[in-house]
Amino acid sequence: MKFRMQSGDECLSLHLRETAKNATMVSKTTQEHIIRLCGKYITDVIVEEVKKAVFFSVLADETTDVSTKEQMALVLRYVKDDAVVERFVGFVDVQETTGAALAERIWKFVNDLGLDPMLIRGQGYDGASNMSGHIRGVAARIQSMNPLALYTHCCSHVLNLVIVKWCCLPEIRNMFGTVQKCAVFFSESAK
């Protein structure tokens, strides 16, 4: 805010000079509330677009964040103006990473967005057995509840697998292993 005021933002300067200190709306709590409202507005716009498209696909991948908290990122894919669009709609906290638990979280999250999970026509996950397993994986669990929700291996993961498996240059193949080891090293570091 200091930068904005030094850059000549007279409206902000006036607001901070003239407004009572308890009404400036710059506290951490107020800013977090405003950010949440903006996020909710954006998500609501995406949900309305999905409702207009009627059918949609769910893309998900779970990972551990810096604080070792397990989360799943969810993306919706749908058609808008004759083009396929993908929109991130949120992170879901997960306690268990079993296929049943993750499928339940996805189903509930889609429902909580105000979308009908029976309108899911596609699912995209990585090749981990808890995600893609044909008996106990997320894909199988969701398909058992909605038979029209077809599973397709995530394209980003497919490209990675193709490069690693079929690359003729050992340097490139080894590079992926080195990057993975570095990621593990830093993620397990206390600092």
Structure confidence by residue, pLDDT tens digits, 141-157: 888 899 998 888 766 55
Residue 146 phi/psi, 5-degree rounding, is -140, 95
Query: Across the beta sheet with 83-93, what order do the strands follow?
Result: 83-93, 70-80, 56-64, 120-125, 150-153
Is the Cβ–Cβ distance between 108 and 58 less than 8 Å? no
> In Å, how far from its chain's centre is CA 46?
13
The structural domains of the chain, ordered by start, are 54-153 (3.30.420.40)
- Rounded CA-CA distance 27/37 in Å is 15
Residue 86 host element (H or E): strand 83-93
Q: What is the pLDDT, as a whole number, of residue 22?
A: 75
Point out the residues of the chain with pLDDT beneath 70: 65-66, 127-130, 132-134, 154-170, 172-173, 176, 188-191
Q: What is the pLDDT, as a whole number, of residue 112?
A: 95
